[in-house]
Structure 1
Amino acid sequence: MLKILSARQIKSLEESYLEEKGILSLELMETAAEAFCQWYMQNFSRRQDIAIFCGTGNNGGDGIAIARLLSRQGYPVCVYTLGDAKDGTADYNSNLNILPTNIVNKPFSNIDWERFRCHVIIDAMLGIGLNKPLEGKYLDAVKKLNSQKTMRIAVDMPTGLPSDKLVDGEAFQAHYTVTFQTPKLSALFPEHAAYVGDLVVKDIGIDGKYFNGYESSRYFVEEKDILERHKIFHKASHKGDFGKVLLVGGSKGKLGAIMLSAKAALRTGSGLISTFVPGFGLPIMQSSIHEVMVETCTGNDILDSAPENLDRFDTIAIGPGMGTDEKTAEALKNILESYKGKMVIDADALNIIAKRKDLKELITSQMILTPHLKEFERMVGDDVKYPEGRIEKALEFSQTYGCVLILKGLHSLITTPAGIQYFNPTGSQFLATGGTGDVLTGVVASYLGQGYSVENAALCGVYHHGLAGQLAGEDQRRGTIASDVIEKIPETYKNLGLS
């Protein structure tokens, strides 16, 4: 896990690291520049012209060092500076002094924008210390650079984007942001997706022990964190070992939701899947998903009753497509009161709970709730548009009701009652299509049924769901549908080297 720190904490962390290691800040800057260049050279051609825009602070020093290192590897580089070197930091000027003379270095003010052409723009104008809206030459630069129809990459943070709060005004719009050691909080806000682009985190050698002295309950998940949370099954494992899962949902016109959940649970590895649907769904389910057992309620069109003998299941997931009828709400109440095992609560089940305080009181530590932003807003009764407040609201809700909360979206936020919050690294815009939330419900329920803790099921479920979305998007692009995501779930295990 990468601990997420504030801009002030990061500055203090770097100072402590440099002091203990007995190295200069210039050496750490060189390490960061090398990490950036290593990533860049793996992804971009030497035939592409690069324009690096540098301020006179340490972020600009990163940019100057990157220019030198890329030029040394045969990349065509030009540098454009904003500000006077006499106002620059010591590390900026140290790098400027060793910039090879073959690299063109021009003031930003001298650019002829009508004739300006390049393949790649690298933003190294302002770093993580920004605490006010852009103005003057930096605002002018960002507006001009954002209008260029070319690849744009930000070093550490896009210029204009504060590290810890919502942007105010303009900011550089990057296709990639290459940050160092740990993500900055605001780079994880869905509202900042158009500025951050794809987030790349590069290690610059600051060991985890240096983070221990800094208080933070927020973490960015890494692949290795998922690997160590997975259970290992042996060759003699039988279907009972992989869990008995019940999925409750469906209504007229929305039976597809529970079908997607069931297929996702199967592809995630569940041993036995049962569904509980309205009567009309029996022939549809049995003819469509041969591997799933089907039970029905007393009503034909809506869920108007609860299943019997719920203790035969290792976990229950409830909500996809089930509607919010009064009888359905009572069936939900019956299940919440009678079942004491692990549960996933999603979709219409959340919408019912949002309206009834008596049902909120039935939420337990055995439950994982999976709202998207609008569903969460209904549950807390407050505006959750502002990300800083939304993160705090998620923490408050999880601790009040003792549940694990998955707030779905870009870098989905998993919050535990212990006060720990995890940001997920996987996913893409191609998950923004109907039914992918139902897929997540099935994935998480499958892990619960396989015996994972509620925390591990949430973390592994969100990670694999996001990765499956990425893989499906690589193939289908904008044509990606929820069923494509399901079919990519097995490939996520191969990607992680899991059996």
Structure 2
Amino acid sequence: MKILSSDQIRKADLETIKNKPISSIGLMERASSLFSDWFMTTFDADEKIAVVCGMGNNGGDGLAFARMIYKMQYKIDVYIIKTSDKGSDDFEINLKRLHDIGKINIIEISTNISDFQEYTVLVDAIFGTGLNRPAEGFVKEVIENVNQAESKVCSIDMPSGLMADSPSTGSIIQADYTFSFERPKLAFFMPENEKYTGQWVYQSIDLDSEFMDNCAVKYHYLIRDIVLPFFTKRKKFSHKGSFGHVLFYGTSYGKAGAGILTSHAALRSGCGLVSAYIPECNYIPFQTAIPEVMVMTGKGKKKLSDLPENIDAFDTLACGPGMDTDNETIESFYSLLKSFKKPVVLDADAVNAISINDKLWNVIPEKSILTPHPGEFKRIAGEWKNGFEKLDKLRAMSAKQNVIIVLKGAYTAIALPDGNVYFNSTGNSGMATAGSGDVLTGIIAAFLAKGLKPEQAALTGVYLHGMSGDTALASKGAESLIAGDIINALPYTFLNIAKLQ
């Protein structure tokens, strides 16, 4: 799903009005009706509600919403921030419709700013996406008063004051809920904006799909329909060699668990064969925990210091979890990558090693997949001021090094060398736990070994990882969920996917 800029959404509105049998006011009515339906499933009619409206089309949405829920017996007041003598055409139409009802309290704000303390729910319809600069003057005061109220706050389309496509400054509505139209906004995926958006949802208002399909974008929302074609059914006469062979390369003394999680996840993700090359100290833990894995040990007793023979026999490598970053290990890791020409998956200390010895970039196979968390990414990319700058660094590094970078987070971002970035739609906060990233490495490596293109393996692996986390959440809860629960949920996740094919 393409994530459109605010300007592209505005043009999609215009194209829809031009090409479909619907007027501008009709489109506003459709959007407001969807928001009203959502609102009435979220809040009861005994709430005391105020809608705070600007004089543009976002304010028009607010006025239409007020009329709709008033008819459903909700108690509601409307505040209009009077910034000019006349609002947008659709705002004025909806204001007249509201006046025609005659029973709704409409308060104009020009100088005396209400504190809104008497209301249990405030609906923000001040700017939406129609703002390209920080709020000023008494509008800024209104926003600050909304934030000071002890009410639940719902923003229509965007929290007012928040920029959709760039970093934001100044006063911004701090919403508990944001109901967005048609597509998620890029700003929703920035960690610093969570305090403004709260929980966000989006619904289509049936804008011109042909126009949106033709929009040039850099950012996408990774949804089920994108990855479903990459889950292929097994053929009757398949054998274990048909589904690829992953070599895990990693661990050190006291860190066997990381490699066990990675290897187990690769097996549970359908990989036909998994081997592990580990230091001698971890031989017994591996053989005991996952007998399905073929285990080889290097010369090092507590750390890796060499590489296995017949490296070309493997379809891909999963490197890094628990590996350590001492000089001898990094040298052997360098030799491993230099001798292997197929795309690999690099996580944890395999990424940290790059920050110690950037010559590793010269031997990483093209289209390999790196899976850093933000701290690991910062070590190889440097600091950033905000989420937008982080994305710029992510896209630049992916393109420069010709690798795929999976930056883990609440909305894991998958950057492709062609400049496109996908934000994952699955997963939950319970997955912020030790070993969760090791599981992801194994899942991605399995899809790569099974023959998917690197881009497909990264997208599918990230989506499946989050979906399995969501499956585990249902029985474990966010607080108690651990990495092993994600692996144990994989069979049920695959079964659910099979029902959709």
Partner residue, 2:50: 51
Q: What's the secondary structure of 2:242's corresponding residue?
A: coil
User: Which sections of structure 1, spanning at least 5 residues, go unmatched?
Assistant: none
Report how far residue 299 of structure 1 moved: 0.9
Counterpart for residue 139 of structure 1: 140
Q: Does 1:91 align with 2:93?
A: no
- More moved, 96-105 vs 357-366: 96-105
Give the structure-1-normalised TM-score.
Answer: 0.91
Partner of 2:16: 17
Q: In the alignment, what sits opposite 1:459?
A: 459
The answer to whether 1:68 aligns with 2:70 is: no
Conservation of the 8 A alpha-carbon contact between 1:85 and 1:93 = no
Q: 1:126 to 1:349 in 2, by over 3 A?
A: same
Q: Check whether the contact 1:364–1:401 (CA below 8 A) recurs between aligned residues.
A: no
What is the correspondence of 1:5-44 to structure 2 with a 5 Å cutoff? 5-21=4-20, 23-44=22-43
Distance 1:261 1:142, change over 3 A: farther
CA distance in 1, matches of 2:255, 2:285: 12
* 1:160/1:110 CA distance change after superposition, 3 Å: closer
Contact residue 354 and residue 360 of structure 1 kept, 8 A: no
Residues 283-302 of structure 1 mapped to structure 2, 5 A cutoff: 283-302=284-303
After TM superposition, give the deviation of residue 426 of structure 1 in Å: 2.1
Instruction: State which drifts further: 458-467 or 132-141.
Output: 132-141
Which residue pairs with 2:246 in the alignment? 245
CA shift, 1:85, in A, is 7.7
Q: 2: distance between equivalents of 1:20 and 1:431?
A: 44
Letter in 2 for 1:437: G
Shift of 1:360: 0.4
Structure 1 position 44, deviation (Å): 4.5
User: Is 1:231–1:452's contact at 8 Å kept on the other side of the alignment?
Assistant: no
- 1:46: Cα distance to partner? 4.6
Work out whether residues 272 and 292 of structure 1, in 8 Å CA contact, stay in contact via their aligned partners in 2: yes
The residue type paired with residue 117 of structure 1 is Y
Partner of 2:337: 336
- Whole-angstrom CA distance in 2 between matches of 1:279 and 1:262: 17
Is structure 2 residue 164 aligned with structure 1 residue 159? no
Alignment of 1:61-460 (within 5 A): 61-83=60-82, 86-99=85-98, 100-107=101-108, 109=112, 111=114, 113-114=116-117, 116-118=118-120, 120-380=121-381, 382-460=382-460
Structure 2 unmatched ranges of 5 or more: none
Deviation of 1:323 (Å): 0.6
- Contact 1:4/1:185, CA 8 A, preserved across alignment: yes
Moved more, 136-145 or 340-349: 136-145
Task: Decide whether aligned partners of structure 1 residues 385 and 69 sit closer, same or farther in structure 2, where only a CA change above 3 A counts.
Answer: same
Would the aligned equivalents of 1:247 and 1:262 in 2 still touch at CA under 8 Å? yes
- Contact 2:252-2:303 within 8 A present in 1 as well: yes
Point out the more displaced range, 358-367 or 481-490: 481-490
Count of matched residue pairs: 495
For the Cα contact (< 8 Å) 1:369–1:403, is it kept in 2? yes
Q: Tell me how far apart the structure 2 counterparts of residues 102 and 14 of structure 1 sit (CA, whole Å).
A: 32
Two-structure CA RMSD over aligned residues (Å): 2.5
- C-alpha separation between the residues in 2 aligned to 1:389 and 1:333? 30
Query: Is the 1:373–1:384 Cα contact (8 Å) retained in structure 2?
Result: no
Q: Which amino acid aligns with 1:438?
A: D
The answer to whether the 8 A contact 1:55-1:126 is kept is yes
Closer, same or farther in 2 for the Cα pair 1:401/1:105, shift >3 Å? Answer: same
- What TM-score, normalized by structure 2, do the two folds share? 0.91
Deviation of 1:336 after TM superposition, in Å, equals 0.7
- Cα 1:394–1:304 change in 2 (3 A) is same
Instruction: Note closer, same or farther for the CA distance 1:275–1:117 as it changes in structure 2 (3 Å cut).
Output: same
* Alpha-carbon shift at residue 379 of structure 1 (Å): 1.7
Offset at 1:254?
A: 2.1
Aligned-partner Cα distance in 1 for 2:367–2:84: 59
1:456 alignment partner AA: Q
Is the deviation greater in 383-392 or in 88-97?
383-392
